[in-house]
A = this chain, B = another copy of it.
Amino acid sequence: MMTTSDRLEQQIRFILEIDKLKTVLRRSYLLNGSRYENSAEHSWHLAVMALVLAEHANEPVDLCRVLKMLLVHDIVEIDAGDTYCYDEVANQDKAERERRAAERLFGLLPPDQRDELRALWEEFEARQTPEAKFAAALDRLMPLMHNFFTGGRSWQEHGVTLEQVLERNSPTAEGSATLWAFAKRLIDQAVEQGLLPSRSASQT
């Protein structure tokens, strides 16, 4: 039988392990342009965003569930790395890498919590529930804002086109029509300001 202290020991081991998410770098720059953002601080930012923007979800959401989902949604990156959303090759085996990561990382926890956190992560990935759709909308909108307000720097460094940004961001509409309208205004402005070339333009 598992004693309280065995259980606490497992919980602490998980908490120590996830410190590593602070060293997983994304391709978004901080708004002051000083460095890439890491996945731990990104997760915090999305959670606060959820707290502030929940009223704009298309359907009423259980905010607590959205917060939990956003807090754990990137933990698999500790093993699987941050897969840049515009990297087609890396995205081919992303699902399998992340599945193995979820197995190991959530597996550090006592079984009930392993199952709970894994289910939250799977719900986020599946984007079927109102909470997951809204969480995904925020996970699209924040990088768009980071890119737009740093002069499109990361888009330019990776040769990202308007078509790719539109495709990547379109799920925002499923979570929040209001935030999708806002996202589209940013994308339009990015094009007007020459921050984001369209594929056809870049081919001429």
Shortest CB-to-CB span from A79 to chain B, Å, is 15
Known contacts A23-B32, A64-B64; decide if A8 and B44 are in contact (CB<8 Å): no
Interface size classification for chain A: 35 or more
Which of chain B's residues have a CB closer than 8 A to the CB of A16?
A: 31, 145, 149
With the chains together, A51 CA to B72 CA distance in Å? 10
**A178 contacts partner chain B, Cβ-Cβ < 8 Å:** yes
Known: A19-B31, A41-B44. A52 touches B11 (CB 8 A): yes
CA distance A18 to B22 in the complex (A): 18
Q: Per-residue 0/1 for A91-130: is the Cβ within 8 Å of any B Cβ (1 yes, 0 no)? A: 0000000000000000001000100010000000000000
The reply to whether the CB of A196 lies closer than 8 angstroms to some CB of chain B is no
Our pick among B19, B30, B109 for the contact of A52 (Cβ within 8 Å) is B109
